[in-house]
Each structure stands twice: as C-alpha cells, then as structure tokens.
C-alpha cells in the first residue's frame, strides 16, 4: 500500500556520529520523517531530523504526498509529519487523529495563511479589490488564451488540496483553476508576471518570502467558519459548501501513535520543536532566492541555535 503513497523512494541517512548519543536512544530502528514539495517543509523536517540525529537517533527521510501520507502514518509505515497546515490539512489531520492511530504533537510555532493573492498594481485595473465580488467583474483581466472569457486562477500543486474548485463553484466565479505543477513553477510564474506588471491571480502562502518580496494583497472572501466547509446552508450559496475564505491558523506536527512508546525521547523532542514565521521566511528565501542548498541552510541554523534545540533532546 505504501508504495502507492510515496512519490519517490525513501532516502536513508546513517545515525549521526558527531555529537551523537546512540547509547541513550530507545531503538535504533529508523524514525521515518516525511518530505513534501515545498521548501519550508523540507527545512522544518531536516531541522528536526538533524536534531534527532544529534541525540543519536537513526533518521530516514521519505518523500510522500501531503494528504495521502496519513494512510502511512496510521499504519506506522511513516512516523512523523512536521507540517500539517490548518489551512489545507486540518480535515485530514482530524480524521486521522480520530482513529487513534495518529497523534497531534502540537503547534510548530508557525502561523499559516494560504489564500488567493494578487499584486497591488492590479488594483488600478480592478479597483474593487480586495473584495472577492470584484473578481467577477474583472475576470477578463485575468483571462488567458486557454481560459477566456473566464479568468485564470493559478493554484498550487494538486496535492496541496485547498478546495479552490469548490470555492469557484460555490461563489459562482467565472474562473478556471489551473494548478501549478510544482512550488517552484508557481513562484516562477509570479516573478515573470511581476516583472512585466502583468495581471496574475494565484495561491500565495505564509510563512514564505513571496509576500515579503512582492507587494500585494490577499483576496477578502467571506470569513471562514467551520460550518462553511460542512453545511451547504451556511453562507451565500445555500446549496454548496466552501463559499468562504480558507481557514488560517497554526501549522501542526503529527506522528504515528507508536512513536511515543518506541522512541519516547524523540517524541518529546518533536513536541518541543518551535520556529516562527519570520525566521522560516528568511531560511526559505536563502534557498529559493539565494540558491543555497536546503542542507546548508539547515546546518547553519542548527549550528547557530544550540541553546534552543539542545533542551528539546534533554541536553
């Protein structure tokens, strides 16, 4: 079953040698941390993995689908997922934890925003923004040869979820959702449009460097409430759900229930993990804008923050 969940084969890493404490670990079996397809999650996960290695744990990184990974977490084929966003992953997380096979290990310290976004210069041609109702009148502005006369909304990769198609239908917006193939492709298209001052409407998220580098705004949809996603009678459209904004809130850590019993020290360390939006945004920028390897940025953070992470592993 797991074979169908994974996007690529697992990459096993040996136990840390320098600074390791292998004699104190509860099991030498590898702790499998999932990797996804956006830079921030790679950084978060490798920071946690590096810290666990410092404590002597054997760590294995496994490339996995963001939402489909929960099947592996339930069975124990996967062990830890370091970023479950309130904005897009809450339903899958709640379903998994309700089974008793997956445990919520608390907040990462980062606060998530994922929403439709446009550059500020677009408001000159669509002055009703950021009110979502202005999008209907400005659809032609955002149209392409493929979508005309409808506008185009550039969403994230399909695996991210987000309910954009449902939102378009529920709010009766004349737009076609086109998904970027990768995180890099999403922001490459934004850069190209921004340089040309071309209209673009797309998925932007934080923590990330994009809302810092580019001047723009998130679209103001009807405020999110849980009922919006569950009860068609809620909101503007009495027949459909998702007629509201996406939720905002914490980015969570989750684990297979067996982690607490098999690797209790690692379990405590993962619970203690904490970084915040600003520092994560800077690290993402170092990778995406400055071209530095993820591993180098992580190593720099670990070296500079011993006083923060050593207490996570009882040192």
Structural domain count, the chain: 2
pLDDT at residue 87, rounded to an integer: 87
239 belongs to a structural domain: no
148, two tokens = 């005309």
Nearest to 258 by CA among 266, 248, 269: 266
pLDDT, tens only, 133-188 = 999 999 999 999 999 999 999 999 998 888 999 999 999 999 999 999 999 999 99
Measured CA to CA in angstroms, residue 152 lies from 44, 116, 132, 170 at distances of 32, 12, 14, 16
pLDDT, tens only, 33-85 = 999 989 999 999 999 999 999 999 999 999 999 999 999 999 999 999 999 99
Residue 10's pLDDT band, with cuts at 50, 70 and 90, is very low
Q: Cα separation of 112 and 183, whole Å? A: 16
Instruction: State whether 173 and 255 are in the same domain.
Output: no
SS3 180: coil
CATH number of the domain within which 75 lies: 3.40.190.10
188, two tokens = 């490459």
User: Which backbone phi and psi does 230 adopt, to 5 degrees?
Assistant: -120, -30
Cα Rg for the chain, rounded, in angstroms?
21
243 belongs to a structural domain: no
pLDDT, tens only, 209-245 = 999 899 999 999 999 999 999 999 999 999 999 999 9
pLDDT at residue 18, rounded to an integer: 35
Instruction: State whether 93 and 34 are in the same domain.
Output: yes
235 belongs to a structural domain: no
38 belongs to a structural domain: yes
8, pLDDT greater than 80: no
Q: Specify the DSSP class assigned to residue 313.
A: G
Checking 180-188 for CB contacts under 8 A at 24+ apart, the result is 180/154, 180/155, 180/156, 181/157, 182/37, 182/157, 183/37, 183/38, 183/39, 183/156, 183/157, 184/288, 186/154, 186/156, 186/157, 187/288
| pTM reported for the whole predicted model | 0.80
SS3 179: strand
In which domain, by residue range, is 161 found? 112-230
210 belongs to a structural domain: yes
256, two tokens = 């297979």
32, pLDDT greater than 90: yes
Query: What would the 3-class secondary structure string for 200-249 be?
Result: CCEEEEECCCHHHHCCEEECECCCCCHHHHHCCCCCCCCCCCCCCCCCCE
Instruction: Please name every residue paired with 205 in a beta bridge, in sequence order, or none if there are none.
Output: 114
CATH number of the domain within which 135 lies: 3.40.190.100
Instruction: State whether 294 and 219 are in the same domain.
Output: no
Instruction: State whether 300 and 217 are in the same domain.
Output: no
């Amino acid at each position: 079953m797991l074979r169908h969940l994974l996007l690529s084969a697992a990459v096993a890493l040996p136990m840390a040698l320098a600074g390791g404490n292998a004699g104190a670990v509860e099991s030498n079996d590898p702790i499998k941390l999932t990797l996804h397809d956006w830079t921030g999650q790679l950084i978060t996960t490798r920071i946690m993995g590096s810290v666990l290695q410092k404590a002597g744990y054997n760590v294995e990184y496994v490339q996995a689908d963001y939402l489909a990974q929960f099947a592996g977490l339930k069975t124990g084929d996967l062990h830890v997922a370091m970023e479950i966003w309130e904005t897009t992953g809450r339903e899958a997380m709640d379903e998994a934890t309700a089974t008793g096979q997956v445990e919520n290990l608390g907040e990462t310290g980062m606060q998530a925003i994922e929403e439709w976004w446009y550059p500020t210069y677009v408001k000159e041609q669509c002055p009703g923004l950021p009110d979502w109702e202005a999008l209907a009148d400005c659809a032609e502005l955002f149209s392409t040869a493929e979508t005309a006369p409808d506008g185009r909304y550039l969403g994230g990769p399909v695996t991210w979820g987000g309910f954009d198609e449902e939102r378009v239908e529920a709010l009766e917006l004349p737009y076609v959702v086109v998904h970027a193939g990768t995180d890099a492709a999403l922001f490459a298209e934004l850069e190209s449009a921004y340089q040309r001052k071309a209209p673009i409407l797309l998925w932007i998220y934080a923590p990330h460097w994009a809302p810092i580098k580019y001047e723009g705004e998130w679209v103001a949809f009807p405020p999110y409430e849980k009922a919006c996603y569950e009860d068609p009678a809620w909101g503007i459209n009495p027949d459909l759900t998702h007629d509201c904004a996406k939720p905002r809130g914490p980015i969570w850590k989750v684990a297979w229930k067996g982690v607490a019993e098999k690797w209790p020290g690692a379990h405590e360390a993962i619970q203690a993990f904490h970084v915040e939006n600003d520092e994560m945004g800077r690290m993402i920028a170092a990778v995406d804008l400055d071209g530095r390897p993820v591993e180098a940025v992580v190593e720099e953070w670990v070296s500079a923050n011993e006083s923060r992470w050593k207490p996570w592993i009882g040192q």
